[in-house]
Amino acid sequence: IFCPACNKMAYIAHSQEEVKDPRPAVREKCAESHCANLAKELATCNDRVNSKTKTSETCTQELFEFLHCVDHCASKELFKHLK
């Protein structure tokens, strides 16, 4: 990789150990435990909306609340994995 600030090529050393991203597992754990009540509300809303043929209702608010909960929960755990 060329480093414009130092005006030369910079080489990135790759570790032999492959790093596994903990984010998907942490988010899933949060969704199933800490945010289970919001996941249930979202599922109920989706079922209600999908059962209607004509509706202007969306589940946007429920989705945002669920994702906010998952992100908030996961952020606490993910920082523990940083080196």
Residue 66: CA count within 13 A, CB half-sphere: 21
- pLDDT tens-digit series, residues 61-79: 999 999 999 999 999 888 8
d(CA 57, CA 12): 50
Which pLDDT score is estimated for 79?
Answer: 83
Q: Are 39 and 66 in contact (CB under 8 A)?
A: yes
- pLDDT tens-digit series, residues 6-57: 555 555 555 567 778 899 999 999 999 999 999 999 999 999 999 998 889 9
- Number of residues in the chain: 83
pTM higher than 0.75 for the full model? no
Residue (of 33, 34, 61) closest to 46 by Cα position: 61
- AA letter at 58: T
Q: Which residues contact 55 (CB under 8 A, 6 or more apart)?
A: 49
